[in-house]
């Protein structure tokens, strides 16, 4: 019999908690070993990536409608169906028996019997599974690709169906990972030698210096490379915003909405820790992570400031980065949970907050100074439309051309913004512009 704290049962607890509280809390896995914790993350993210499709299958084989199931039963079944159909390493009997045991233990023997019946039915038909066949096209696509219907409707309209499919497929695939070497701690050549010695596969990027595409983050954790501050896990597109801000040693820089701090750390490195970065964020927990990273990465020029960007009074800077809170629709392969947490109202709220934050950020830029606005969203309202609105209102800022900083393939035709897409660029979806204060 399975131990109380198995990867499966902890994954189920995290998924139940997510359904009930709309928050993904991995701390429930804290008592597991590193490898098991990684497995829990895999389970949770993979199940969230396939959630609508798994629910469709459960509905087809159950006498109880999925909408009527409590989160406990629903998530035991989601994990069991995922195990049965998508985990080659799990034998059928183990997938079914373990689900039945967890159901009995958590919800009683009757529920265990129900799980057994549903799973046996599904196993019997596994070579001839039903396919979603809804008349409503958005519902059909949303179920097939496990994205919310509002997102599907938007993306089908904007990109056309073929491209929207490719984007959703990319969101449902294993994400790409990059690390950036921290030159405050080591030289890139030494870092490469170290990776070779440790047999860690890596591929230097030709987009930005010091970035390497990697297969998995796991060896970097287990060999202590992150802990020692040697390198940082950061998507290459997340490095574009600091790159175009181009902070120089000795400058005064503000990083607004800075936590957990990967961009502050990168900017400290670009500045060789000379000058001053004030990193502002509203979240004390996330700022705690930034404080730990600053120590770890020897980013000694970072000063942390807790508070709302709209309320802090920190004067003027040569260069300001506003990495605005957003819907995160560009990072859905790494954060599959976000697709289930966002809705159209949330998008509208994000747009309003970004507008206020952008105005505040602009007021903190010295005359002649630079302002970068960035998001990890694919939605025009959060990106270029936000900037157009801002420029219509303020005539003391101008957009700068980005071709000296970034590869052409990530730039808009006019070279005044960058936007990456997971399905075309093989990295997260990020947007950014560089504004100069001209008067």
Ligand X SMILES: C[S@@+](CC[C@H](N)C(=O)[O-])C[C@H]1O[C@@H](n2cnc3c(N)ncnc32)[C@H](O)[C@@H]1O
Binding site for ligand X (CB under 6 A): 257-263, 280-283, 286, 308-310, 323, 325
Give min distance, CB of 348 to ligand X, in A.
16
Tell me: is residue 83 an annotated ligand-binding position. Answer: no
Nearest to ligand X of 167, 257 (CB atom): 257
Q: How far is the CB of 406 from ligand X (least distance, A)?
A: 17
Contacts of 51 (CB under 8 A, 6+ apart): 78, 146, 340
Nearer to ligand X, 215 or 308 (CB): 308
Cβ-contact 147, 52 below 8 angstroms: yes
Residue nearest to ligand X (CB): 257
- What is the layout of strands, in order, in the sheet containing 202-204? 202-204, 211-214, 177-181, 231-233
Is 394:296 a contact under the CB 8 Å cutoff?
A: no
Pick between residue 92 and residue 360 the one whose CB is nearest to ligand X. Answer: 360
Q: Is 224 exposed, middle or buried (0-12, 13-18, 19+ CB in 10 A)?
A: exposed
Please report how close the Cβ of residue 148 comes to ligand X at its closest, in angstroms.
20
**Greatest CA separation for the chain:** 73
Query: What stretches of 133-226 show up as alpha helix (H) in DSSP?
Result: 137-145, 149-159, 161-171, 188-197, 218-222
Asked if 417 and 433 count as a contact pair (C-beta separation under 8 A), the reply is: yes
Torsion of CA 203, 204, 206, 210, to 10 degrees: 150
What Cα–Cα distance (Å) separates residue 306 from each residue in 295, 310, 312, 374?
A: 17, 12, 8, 20
User: 376 and 429 in contact (C-beta within 8 Å)?
Assistant: yes
- Burial tier of 20 (Cβ tally within 10 Å: 0-12, 13-18, 19+): exposed
Ligand-binding annotation for 92, yes or no, is no
When the beta carbons of 142 and 181 are compared against ligand X, the nearer one is 181
Nearer to ligand X, 72 or 242 (CB): 242
CB of 385 to ligand X, least distance (A): 18
Q: Is 88 flagged in the annotation as binding?
A: no
Nearer to ligand X, 139 or 305 (CB): 305
d(CA 243, CA 238): 9
Nearest to 200 by CA among 182, 183, 224: 224
Cβ 165 to ligand X, closest distance in Å?
A: 27
376 is catalytic: yes
Instruction: Give the chain's end-to-end CA distance (angstroms, integer).
Output: 71
Shortest spacing between CB 57 and ligand X, in angstroms: 34
Instruction: Yes or no: say if 80 and 119 are a contact pair by the CB < 8 Å rule.
Output: yes
> Which one of the listed residues 257, 326, 376, 427 is annotated catalytic?
376
Binding residues: 281, 308, 323
Binding residues for S-adenosyl-L-methionine: 281, 308, 323
Residues serving a catalytic function are 376
């Amino acid at each position: 019999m399975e131990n109380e704290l198995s990867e499966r049962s902890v994954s189920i607890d995290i998924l139940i908690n997510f359904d009930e509280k709309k928050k993904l809390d991995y701390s429930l896995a804290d008592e597991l070993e590193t490898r098991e914790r990684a497995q829990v993350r895999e389970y949770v993210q993979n199940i969230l990536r396939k959630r609508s499709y798994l629910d469709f299958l459960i509905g087809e084989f159950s006498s109880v409608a999925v909408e009527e199931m409590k989160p406990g039963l629903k998530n035991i079944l989601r994990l069991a169906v995922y195990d049965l159909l998508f985990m080659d390493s799990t034998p059928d009997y183990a997938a079914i028996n373990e689900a039945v045991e967890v159901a009995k233990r958590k919800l009683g023997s009757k529920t265990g019997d129900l799980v057994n019946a549903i799973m046996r039915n599904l196993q019997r038909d596994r070579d001839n599974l039903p396919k979603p066949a809804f008349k409503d096209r958005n519902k059909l696509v949303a179920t097939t690709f496990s994205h919310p219907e509002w997102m599907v409707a938007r993306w089908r309209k904007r990109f056309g169906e073929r491209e929207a499919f490719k984007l959703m497929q990319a969101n449902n695939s294993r994400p790409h990972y990059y690390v950036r070497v921290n030159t405050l701690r080591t030289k890139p050549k030494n870092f490469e030698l170290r990776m070779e010695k440790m047999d860690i596969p890596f591929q230097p990027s030709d987009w930005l210096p010091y970035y390497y595409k990697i297969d998995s983050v796991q060896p970097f954790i287990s060999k202590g490379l992150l802990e020692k501050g040697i390198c940082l896990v950061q998507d290459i597109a997340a490095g574009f915003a600091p790159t175009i801000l181009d902070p120089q040693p000795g400058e005064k820089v503000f990083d607004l909405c800075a936590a957990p701090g990967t961009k502050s750390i990168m900017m400290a490195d670009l500045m060789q820790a000379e000058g001053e970065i004030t990193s502002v964020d509203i979240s004390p927990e996330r700022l705690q992570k930034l404080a730990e990273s600053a120590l770890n990465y020897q980013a000694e020029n970072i000063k942390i400031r807790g508070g709302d960007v709209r309320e802090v009074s920190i004067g003027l800077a040569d260069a300001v980065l506003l990495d605005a809170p957003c819907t995160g629709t560009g990072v859905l392969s790494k954060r599959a949970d976000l697709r289930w947490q966002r809705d159209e109202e949330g998008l509208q709220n994000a747009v309003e907050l970004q507008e206020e934050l952008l105005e505040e950020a602009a007021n903190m830029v010295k005359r002649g100074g630079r302002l970068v606005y960035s998001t990890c969203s694919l939605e025009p309202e959060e990106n270029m439309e936000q900037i157009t609105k801002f420029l219509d209102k303020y005539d003391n800022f101008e957009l700068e051309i980005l071709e000296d900083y970034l590869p052409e393939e990530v730039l808009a035709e006019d070279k005044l913004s960058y936007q990456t897409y997971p399905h075309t660029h093989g990295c997260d979806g990020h947007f950014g512009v560089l504004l100069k204060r001209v008067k």
